[in-house]
Amino acid sequence: MLQDIERYLACPHCAQALTRHDRSLRCPAGHSFDLAKQGYVSLLAGDAHTGTGDTAEMVAARADFLAAGHYRPIAEALAEAAAVAGASDGLVADLGAGTGHYLAHVLDALPGTVGAALDISKFALRRAAKAHPRIGAVVCDAWRPLPLRDASAELMLNVFAPRNGPEIRRVLRPGGTLLLVSPTARHLRELVGALGLLSVDEEKQRRIDEKLGPYLEPAGRREVEFTLRLGPQDVRTVVGMGPSAWHTDPERLAAALAELPEPVEVTASVTVAAYRR
């Protein structure tokens, strides 16, 4: 619930602490933020643009795909890495949390923690707010100062989401860990060519390391790779829930889908990397 993480939140305008006043959060400078009836709070600055957030259709597709268990090995690997990181209490902040699916798995593995689901999509956070009893959901922009207090998080998650190195370092406690999940070049490779989806280049992990290098130290990684057996609707869902949803022509996609075998075997391949402040 939101009240579980209120002590970690900071005003997006002045960075001061926020406290509850009836159905709003306020800082000492008088900035006020109403709590949405769906259980989340928006801590976006007034001039923020939300056009890059996942749409209601994308969020629904992701929720269906994850609920079917297709990416369970990724969630389990992330929970295992969280247990190894040793975050036994305090705050777990998920930057780009989406529906809260992965954060919920981590919180189950770390019963002494609470979770902050951070995302720019209110459609995603409506679901994240209900994904686990210890999740508080906050609308924010990953590329701006995060509405969390300095050194407030014991652990941060980043799963298929934007990364803001300076802010991740600021929010992590000294010795805290970032767990980052990113696709390898083999991820969904059977669909990339057949359906004209966005591909992942071979240098992605190197570029991530370079961008995070000034702020965090690498602390180990593992690859998680497995085979999915997807029917036509599953394929439509996995396309609709990711970045390719913004770039795929529906008619062309339908024609390409008709050419795929039923079911189609698809490679899921990601890196789970740890970085430490």
pLDDT at 8 over 60: yes
Mean pLDDT (whole number) for 3-27: 93
- Looking at the structure of the chain, the number of domains it has is 1
Neighbours of 144 (CB within 10 A): 15
Query: Measured between alpha carbons, how far is 68 from 12 in angstroms, rounded to an integer?
Result: 36
Mean pLDDT (whole number) for 203-210: 89
Query: Measured between alpha carbons, how far is 48 from 30 in angstroms, rounded to an integer?
Result: 19
Give residue 261's pLDDT.
Answer: 78
Q: Residue type for 15, please? A: A
Q: pLDDT of 223-244, one tens digit each?
A: 999 999 998 888 888 887 866 6
CATH code (residue 29): 3.40.50.150
**The token pair that represents 50 in the structure block:** 């939300």
Mean pLDDT (whole number) for 49-74: 86
The crossing angle, in degrees rounded to 10, of helices 250-258 and 232-240 is: 150
pLDDT at 48 over 70: no
pLDDT band at 49 (very low <50, low <70, confident <90, very high): low
Mean pLDDT (whole number) for 40-67: 82
**The token pair that represents 269 in the structure block:** 């391949």
Query: Containing domain of residue 120, as a range?
Result: 2-276
Q: pLDDT of 148-171, one tens digit each?
A: 999 999 999 999 999 999 999 999
Query: Measured between alpha carbons, how far is 43 from 118 in angstroms, rounded to an integer?
Result: 10
- Residue with the larger pLDDT of the pair 87 and 188: 188
* Residues 6 or more apart in contact with residue 124 via CB below 8 angstroms: 53, 54, 59, 62, 97, 98, 99, 100
Give residue 246's pLDDT.
Answer: 57
Give residue 5's pLDDT.
Answer: 95
Contact status, residue 144 vs residue 122, Cβ threshold 8 Å: no
pLDDT at 24 over 80: yes
Give residue 196's pLDDT.
Answer: 76
Give residue 54's pLDDT.
Answer: 81
Using CA atoms, how far residue 254 sits from 41, 100, 203, 249, 260, in Å, is 38, 30, 31, 9, 10
Query: Measured between alpha carbons, how far is 144 from 142 in angstroms, rounded to an integer?
Result: 6
| Cα R_g (the chain), whole angstroms | 19
Mean pLDDT (whole number) for 250-266: 79
Contact status, residue 195 vs residue 248, Cβ threshold 8 Å: yes
Query: Measured between alpha carbons, how far is 206 from 213 in angstroms, rounded to an integer?
Result: 10
pLDDT band at 51 (very low <50, low <70, confident <90, very high): low
pLDDT band at 204 (very low <50, low <70, confident <90, very high): confident
**The token pair that represents 11 in the structure block:** 């005003």
Q: pLDDT of 100-131, one tens digit each?
A: 999 999 999 999 999 999 999 999 999 999 99
Cis peptide before 263 (omega within 30 of 0): yes
Mean pLDDT (whole number) for 179-206: 86
